Amino acid sequence: KAGVTQTPRYLIKTRGQQVTLSCSPISGHRSVSWYQQTPGQGLQFLFEYFSETQRNKGNFPGRFSGRQFSNSRSEMNVSTLELGDSALYLCASSPAVAGTGELFFGEGSRLTVL
Amino acid sequence: SQQGEEDPQALSIQEGENATMNCSYKTSINNLQWYRQNSGRGLVHLILIRSNEREKHSGRLRVTLDTSKKSSSLLITASRAADTASYFCATDGGYTGNQFYFGTGTSLTVIP
């Protein structure tokens, strides 16, 4: 089975721009969640989607949004980029409906905002 | 913040020694998980322990959980150079759904 695939792996943007990151979960996994990892704040939960519905959302401003498609693929979007948005964005999929199973992570998308 | 804390922040040991890292969290939980992250890459699941379990083993890994103290420990026995990585605990914060709160991580270096 193919693992979780995130694209692009690396990208550089300037302040004020927007960015869209993509995540393809493991086949059969309907839960997709997103995390932001920075040296200062560590790993922080952004949001989780299950069957195309946002089920949970972390404490991030409205500039951070996401969606899930019928094939479980997910995208997240960050608008009006700020320097502090520079981070590794990790996507994870899970076969579990509730938080009773493991998360399978992709390799991440490393965003640099200049 | 529901983020947990781990200690030590960094740990350096010789190959063959045991490594112990601790995690403290803030809320009630349904389960606690441990993950490993090699430098700048995705996380890999190691082990899950449920709130009604006190200890769990998987290969060279031993995890304990003390819900009264809101703490967990991960023991890696007979460490290898390939164990060099950052280790994170993650809790579900008592919520349903797949949202997890990760600790600050322990950076483990195993010297060959």
**Residue contact B41–A110, C-beta within 8 A:** no
Per-residue confidence band for B2, with pLDDT thresholds at 50, 70 and 90: low
Pairwise CA distance, residues A23 & A109, whole Å: 9
Per residue in B20-77, pLDDT tens? 999 999 888 888 999 999 987 889 999 999 999 999 999 999 999 999 999 999 999 9
Q: 3-state DSSP helix/strand/coil percent for chain B, to nearest 5?
A: 5, 55, 45
- What pLDDT is recorded for position A64? 98
User: Are the beta carbons of A42 and B3 separated by less than 8 Å?
Assistant: yes
Phi, psi of A85 (to 5 degrees): -80, -5
CA dist B83 → A92, A95, B12, B101, B106 (Å)? 22, 27, 11, 23, 12
Chain A residues whose beta carbon lies within 8 Å of the beta carbon of residue B107: none
Instruction: Suggest the residue from B25, B91, B92, B98 to mutate for an interface test with chain A (most A CBs closer than 10 A).
Output: B98
Q: Which long-range contacts (CB under 8 A, 24 or more apart) does A50-55 make?
A: A50/A97, A50/B97, A50/B98, A55/A31, A55/B97, A55/B98
Best A6, A43, A89 residue to mutate vs chain B (most B CBs within 10 Å)? A43
Contact A99 B48 (CB under 8 A): no
Please report residues of B whose CB lies closer than 8 A to that of A35.
Answer: 102
Rounded CA separation A38/B69 (Å):
28
Q: Which amino acid is at B94?
A: G
- Per-residue pLDDT tens for A16-28? 999 999 999 999 9
Q: Which of B81, B100, B79, B91 is nearest to B19 (CA)?
A: B79
The confidence band for B98, taking pLDDT boundaries of 50, 70 and 90, is: confident
pLDDT in the model for residue B1: 56
